[in-house]
Amino acid sequence: MVNDPRTIFPKVDPPQQIQAEPGLDIKLEPLADIGLDSYQGHNRLAGRKALITGGDSGIGAAVAIAYAREGADVAISYLPEEQPDADRVIAAIEEAGRTAFAYPGDLKDADYCRELVEKSVAALGGLDILVNNASRQIWAEGLTEISDEQFDLTMRTNLHGSFRVTKAALAHLKPGASIIFTSSIQAYEPSPTLLDYAMTKAAMNNLSKGLAAELTPKGIRVNSVAPGPIWTPLQPSHGQPQEKVAGFGQQAPLGRAGHPVELAGAYVFLASDEASYVSGETLGATGGSPTP
């Protein structure tokens, strides 16, 4: 059976809606598909140990659920305010018969970044896969409207957090391990309202390629995924102007925004032995918008 990619998942047609930052998946209208009922595993990550930052909602939640159903034990990080979303993901990991570990905290805190890795390794018994996914996205009407405080918060969350978590993880990663960054189409086509966020995504893309040059000869692969418009709590929690929340993503060539579960397979592929010859690459999942 062949499925039309324009209609295989429901078209996201959200009304205008506002959530307080950082937002919750369970309050989205409509709800995003994170794979709870739709993702079927095939044992491609059996016995592996994964840490996913921002694993409570959106893309991170979909990846956590997919990894568990592919046979991996999974640790997730998230902000304390996101506990209701995290509880749902932890339950799904455990229902898949895998070990789950949840450690709330703020990636802007250097000590938390190091503790997250150490506690995750202790809870899971090792670390084979690191997914740097957590990000902060707050829109502003151009560069002059981005306050120093907002700029600093975005840099510290997206870049400092990913840098510190990765640095701490390296002590535990062995040949065969995989590091994956969540970049964005914003790294290539920055929106005028998301300049600071777009900067961080370009930087993550660059870091993944530089780190691949260092680690691939040691048997550790490093790659990125660059999503297009994906319906997540980032969007209504001040990640987009309200006029862009309504009808979000319908400008994509496929005519709709993506659901987080539609990216899960990309992260599974890059973490699995199926991608044994893939390192230093960025896999675009943009709904048809070309990337370099």
C-alpha–C-alpha distance, residues 158 and 132, integer Å: 9
Buried b (16+ CB within 10 A) or exposed e, 125-142: eebbbbbbbbbbbbbbee
DSSP track, 213-236: HHHGGGT-EEEEEEE-SB-STTII
Identify the active-site residue in 112, 197, 267, 277.
197
Residues constituting the chain: 292
DSSP structure string for 115-175: HHHHHHHHHHTS--EEEE--------SSGGGS-HHHHHHHHIIIIIHHHHHHHHHTTT--T
Tokens of 4: 């039309």
Host H or E run for residue 273 = none
Is 201:184 a contact under the CB 8 Å cutoff? yes
CB 136 within 8 A of CB 142: no
39 is catalytic: no
Any idea which residues carry the catalytic annotation? 197
